Amino acid sequence: MPHRYPYCSPCQYVSPLKQETLRTVEPVVEYGLREAQMVSVPHAMREAVAIAYLIGRGYDQYTARQIVESWEINERFY
């Protein structure tokens, strides 16, 4: 469900929100693209999305990546 702005137009927030979102996810996207050259695309996507999810939960990118990497055994999630 989209976030609602009861007292002002959401259009005022679109550009800054878009810029912040894209700036935040770009390193994760680049990481996922590099991973996809070494492992399967589905695996790389799971890894990148899991990192992005943890960033959304408040972890910094480095910690989120370390957590997700710790879930892997031989480049597989168990």
**Element spanning 77, H or E:** strand 76-77
**How far apart are alpha carbons 8 and 22 in whole angstroms?**
23
Average pLDDT over residues 48-71: 96
Give the helix/strand (H/E) hosting 53. Answer: helix 41-56
Task: Note whether 64 and 51 are within 8 A (CB).
Answer: yes
pLDDT in tens, 15-54: 888 999 999 999 999 999 999 999 999 999 999 999 999 9
Comparing 60 with 74, the larger pLDDT belongs to: 60
Q: What is the model's pTM? A: 0.76
Q: Where are the domains of the chain?
A: 11-77
pLDDT at 74: 83
Classify 14 in phi/psi space as left (phi over 0), alpha (psi -120 to 50) or beta. Answer: alpha
Question: How much is the pLDDT for 76?
Answer: 84
**Residue whose token pair is 């989209």:** 2
Q: Average pLDDT, stretch 47-75?
A: 95
